[in-house]
């Protein structure tokens, strides 16, 4: 019986988890994050939601999907602020993870080790098709990874790339449909070869 009590105690102490929702732009990452967080709120769980302070595309504080679904969040400047502000929640949601500093994977791990369910959404690749920010490291330590796909605007196949439409070499460029479009591997690579 002592073993079962110890397992139960450890499950409460270490029973958190990390879930990642990733994909290209326009794939429904934020939509899925909002869906999971709203379900947690309906269940009357304690939920804290964060986004990078730099992401002001739709709203200063709320997380807003491309479909205009919203949920209130706390904009923060660094990953360490999430650890400070989210430590007493049962669920912590993080949007636009790729824009956070390199400390985010460790923050997610610490929260999960405290028994918190951490749900992270973000781009897994930048516009050049390379791993983006801290998200790949979080994916490696996550219990579950959901890769969502947009629809390629050229051929209609599942899209996993965020193709940048404008000439700009900066790694981070906030934008919407005027700056990016989803592409499948073939259409992404064909256009890269033509423009090279």
Please report which confidence band the pLDDT of residue 102 belongs to, taking 50, 70 and 90 as the band edges. very high
d(CA 108, CA 40): 18
Is residue 96 part of the annotated active site? The answer reads: yes
Place of tokens 């369910």: 117
User: Which phi-psi region, left, alpha or beta, contains residue 129 (left: φ > 0; alpha: ψ -120 to 50)?
Assistant: left
**Distance of CA 187 to CAs 52, 61, 130, Å?**
31, 35, 17
Check pLDDT > 80 for residue 164.
yes
Which residue bears the tokens 């983006």? 132
Domain boundaries, given as residue ranges, for the chain: 2-148
| pLDDT attached to residue 165 | 86
Structural domain 2-148, CATH architecture: 3-Layer(aba) Sandwich (3.40)
> In this structure, what token pair is assigned to residue 101?
């500093």
Supply 59's token pair: 């709203």
The whole-angstrom separation of Cα 43 and Cα 28 is 23
What's the pLDDT tens digit per position in 105-158? 999 999 999 999 999 999 999 999 999 999 999 999 999 999 999 999 999 999
Q: Exactly one of 32, 48, 96, 181 is catalytic; which is it?
A: 96
What is the C-alpha to C-alpha distance for residues 180 and 174, in angstroms, rounded to an integer?
10
Q: Does residue 52 carry a pLDDT above 50?
A: yes
pTM of the model: 0.85
Residue 1 pLDDT class (50, 70, 90 cuts): very low
Per-residue pLDDT band for 99 (boundaries 50, 70, 90) equals: very high
Are the C-beta atoms of 19 and 148 separated by less than 8 Å?
no
Task: For residue range 31-48, list pLDDT tens digits in order.
Answer: 999 999 999 999 999 999
The more confidently predicted of residues 51 and 62 is 51
Confidence class of residue 179 from pLDDT cuts 50, 70 and 90?
Answer: confident
């Amino acid at each position: 019986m002592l073993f079962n009590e110890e397992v139960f105690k450890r499950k409460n102490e270490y029973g958190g988890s990390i879930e990642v929702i990733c994909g290209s732009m326009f794939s429904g990452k934020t939509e899925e994050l909002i869906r999971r967080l709203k379900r947690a709120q309906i269940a009357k769980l304690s939920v804290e939601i964060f986004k990078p302070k730099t992401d002001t595309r739709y709203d200063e504080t709320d997380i807003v999907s491309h479909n205009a679904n919203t949920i209130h969040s706390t904009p923060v400047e660094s990953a360490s602020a999430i650890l400070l502000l989210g430590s007493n929640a049962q669920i912590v949601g993080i949007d636009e993870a790729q824009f956070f500093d390199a400390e985010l994977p460790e923050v997610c791990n610490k929260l999960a080790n405290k028994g918190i369910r951490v749900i992270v959404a973000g781009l897994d690749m930048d516009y050049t098709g390379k791993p983006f920010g801290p998200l790949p490291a979080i994916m490696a330590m996550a219990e579950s990874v959901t890769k969502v796909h947009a629809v390629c605007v050229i051929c209609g196949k599942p899209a996993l790339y965020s193709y940048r439409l404008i000439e700009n070499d900066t790694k981070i460029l906030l934008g919407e449909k005027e700056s990016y479009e989803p592409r499948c591997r073939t259409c992404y690579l064909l256009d890269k070869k033509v423009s090279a």
